[in-house]
Each structure stands twice: as C-alpha cells, then as structure tokens.
C-alpha cells in the first residue's frame, strides 16, 4: 500500500498499542510489527492534517507517515505470528481505519507511559517540550513589568525577539 496516496499511517512504540487496547476507547484494530516493537494505525489520507496541533503535541512519541512510501498491510485474518499482524480491540465494529480523533487516546496513553505532551511555544507555532523551554518576561506595558507576565518559549525564539538571559539564571527577560 502506498502511504499518502490512499491512507496515512500512525506509528507508535508497541507499549502504546498495548495501552490503547487497555484503555478500550478506540474501536479500531492496529498492526503490530514485532521486529521493531511498533504499533501502526491506518488513517484516511490527510486526517491528521485536519487537527495538526494535537498531533504535534505528541510528535516525540508518535509519528504520522504521510509521504508516498510502501507499507505492508497484513491480511485482516492474520492475528498472530512473528511478522506484522492485526490486533483487534474488544468491541471491534468491523472497520480497519481510525479517524482523526485517534490522537486523543494516543495522547492519554503517551502521557501515562512515555512522558508529557509538548506545549505551544508562545512566540512560534512549534511544539515546546518541558526540558527545552525558558521563561521570559513579556511586559504588557512598555513602561513597567507586571508580576506574572512570564511565558515559556524556545531559547532561539527568545533570542530572535531580543530577549536576553537574566544574570545568575537560565531565565530570560526582555532586553531594554
């Protein structure tokens, strides 16, 4: 099957596939690839593009494959074995393709098993992971800095906006 022409493929560590089955809220099966311990869900083409930010928040743990590459889909009756095979959830309703809301359950499972999702950098649209951000003071008034006016941003975004490090700390504040 050519990814991106008909379907997109979501790839996650195998533990997330197991967690999704335990969560029990996603009624579509996934493909397990034992060789590399991954789980894959099929999505309609461009489904992830309709909700880009929720997917970006878990992009460290889950990959959406949309390029035109080959992906081997096992027969729907193949449910065991050393190679790729399907795993069906309880309450399966007969469909094999998830919808764009799959991201919600994936976010719950990645938080519980792999780590927290990213936040949005307040100066750019890219994901900001907890260990990467710095706090900057962004004053609402050019005349004075009000308490509580700090935001989390990427260090390179802060530098680009003319924000500089506070003496004696990793935090940044607006340059004067």
Q: 154 is written with which tokens?
A: 């990427």
Q: How many CB atoms lie within 10 A of CB 55?
A: 22
Asked if residue 18 has pLDDT above 60, the reply is: yes
Predicted confidence (pLDDT) per residue in 28-70, tens digit: 999 999 999 999 999 998 888 888 999 999 999 999 998 767 7
Helices (H) and strands (E) in the chain, counts: 4, 11
Q: How many CB atoms lie within 10 A of CB 42?
A: 23
Q: Enter the pTM of the model.
A: 0.82
Q: Let me know whether 18 and 80 are in one domain.
A: yes
Specify whether the CB–CB gap between 7 and 43 falls below 8 A.
Answer: yes
Classify residue 1: in a domain, yes or no: no
The per-residue pLDDT for 21 is: 95
Q: Let me know whether 113 and 137 are in one domain.
A: no
Residue ranges of alpha helices (H) inside 10-86 are 14-23, 52-57
Q: Is 149 helix (H, G, I), strand (E, B) or coil?
A: coil
The per-residue pLDDT for 170 is: 47
The per-residue pLDDT for 172 is: 45
Q: Which domain holds residue 133?
A: 120-174
Final residue before a domain boundary, out of 117, 136, 159 = 117
Band (156; pLDDT cuts 50, 70, 90): very high
Classify residue 72: in a domain, yes or no: yes
Asked if residue 142 has pLDDT above 70, the reply is: no
Q: Mean pLDDT highest for which of 2-16, 96-110, 125-139?
A: 96-110
Q: Let me know whether 16 and 100 are in one domain.
A: yes
The per-residue pLDDT for 128 is: 96
Q: Let me know whether 153 and 138 are in one domain.
A: yes
The per-residue pLDDT for 4 is: 64
Classify residue 97: in a domain, yes or no: yes
Band (140; pLDDT cuts 50, 70, 90): low
In the chain, the number of structural domains is 2
Q: Let me know whether 163 and 107 are in one domain.
A: no
Q: Let me know whether 111 and 70 are in one domain.
A: yes
Classify residue 102: in a domain, yes or no: yes
Band (134; pLDDT cuts 50, 70, 90): confident
Classify residue 2: in a domain, yes or no: no
The per-residue pLDDT for 70 is: 79
Specify whether the CB–CB gap between 66 and 48 falls below 8 A.
Answer: yes
Q: Let me know whether 24 and 100 are in one domain.
A: yes
Band (150; pLDDT cuts 50, 70, 90): confident
The per-residue pLDDT for 67 is: 79
Q: Let me know whether 98 and 126 are in one domain.
A: no
Q: Let me know whether 26 and 94 are in one domain.
A: yes
The Cα 39–Cα 86 span in angstroms is 9
The per-residue pLDDT for 171 is: 44
């Amino acid at each position: 099957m050519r990814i991106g022409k008909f379907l997109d493929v979501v790839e996650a560590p195998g533990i997330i596939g197991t967690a999704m089955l335990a969560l029990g809220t996603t009624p579509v099966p996934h493909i397990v690839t034992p060789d590399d311990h991954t789980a894959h869900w099929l999505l309609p083409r461009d489904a992830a593009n309709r909700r880009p930010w929720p997917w970006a928040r878990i992009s460290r743990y889950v990959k959406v494959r949309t390029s035109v590459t080959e992906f081997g889909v096992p027969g729907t009756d193949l449910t065991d074995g050393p190679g790729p095979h399907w795993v069906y959830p309880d309450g399966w309703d007969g469909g094999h393709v998830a919808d764009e809301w799959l991201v919600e359950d994936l976010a719950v499972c990645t938080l519980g098993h792999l780590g927290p999702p990213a936040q949005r950098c307040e100066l750019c649209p890219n994901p900001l992971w907890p260990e990467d951000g710095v706090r900057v003071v962004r004053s609402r008034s050019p005349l004075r800095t009000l308490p509580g006016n700090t935001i989390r941003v990427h260090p390179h975004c802060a530098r680009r906006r003319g924000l500089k490090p506070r003496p004696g700390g990793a935090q940044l504040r607006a340059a004067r």
